[in-house]
Amino acid sequence: MHGLNPEQHAQRLSELDVDVELFERALDLAAADVRGCTDFDAPATRGFLFWSRANRYIAEQLDPLGWKRTQRDSILRMIHPTGSHAITAISGDGGVGDLNKKVRSKNPKGGAVARLVERNRQLEIISRDELLFGRELDEIETWCLLYKREDGIIRAELSRPVEMHGKYIDEWRERLPLQVNLDDPGYDISLDDPGDGDDGPEVMVEFVGEN
């Protein structure tokens, strides 16, 4: 469906029960939060915060509409009330928002995301989680809100992944550009997300005994 025109993109978003304004608000609020970071924060704070807050502000808008939230496998997803599809925000690389260019997830993803993408391709349905989400969580079709800082603005698209090569999502069944037109939060700010949580941050803890 890459050949759709802007009106058809808007119609497709409507079919998914979302719109550009929803994502624009989420990314704008996340960018504002990141601006509060300083060099006294941990090096990865800006990227982690942007990823977390983008997903949070999507969730805060969709929760009153009956969408359900899950963070299983450290993948922050909102599940449509019918269980038909889910949405998560991740950082993208390449031509985000430009259908004439290839795009992929910016950061490597682990086994949990690989299984999710494979389920998108197979579109099988089983019954675990049916009570909570209407169907098996791993089988719910998941869309990615890809975001990227480029040319002084944040660019974005909502896309449906179907395949990974190595640890990067790089093939998509559908890509829907989002004309969010947001100011860049700063060229020195990385908008990387932390991956899917398979490998958490390495923290060194030293125990010092009594002298």
What pLDDT score was predicted for residue 140?
Answer: 80
* Per-residue tens of pLDDT for the chain, all 211 residues: 455 677 888 899 999 999 999 999 999 999 999 999 999 999 889 999 999 999 999 999 999 999 999 998 888 999 999 988 999 999 999 999 888 999 988 877 887 888 778 777 665 444 444 444 555 666 788 999 999 887 778 889 999 998 888 888 989 989 999 988 676 555 445 555 665 544 443 333 333 344 4
Please indicate, yes or no, whether the overall pTM of this predicted structure exceeds 0.75: no
pLDDT for 116 equals 78
| pLDDT attached to residue 144 | 93
Distances (CA, A) of 37 to 46, 116, 147, 188: 7, 32, 19, 11
Give the separation between CA 159 and CA 23, rounded to whole angstroms. Answer: 13
Task: Please answer whether residues 56 and 33 qualify as being in contact, where contact means their C-beta atoms are separated by less than 8 angstroms.
Answer: no
Cβ partners under 8 Å of residue 92, min gap 6: 103, 104, 105, 106, 144, 146, 147, 148, 157
Note whether 95 and 156 are within 8 A (CB). no
Cα radius of gyration (the chain): 18
Q: Where are the beta strands (DSSP E) in the chain?
A: 68-70, 77-79, 85-94, 103-105, 141-150, 153-165, 168-183
Residues for the chain: how many in total?
Answer: 211
Q: 27, 35 in Cβ contact below 8 A? A: no
- The predicted pLDDT at position 186 comes to 55
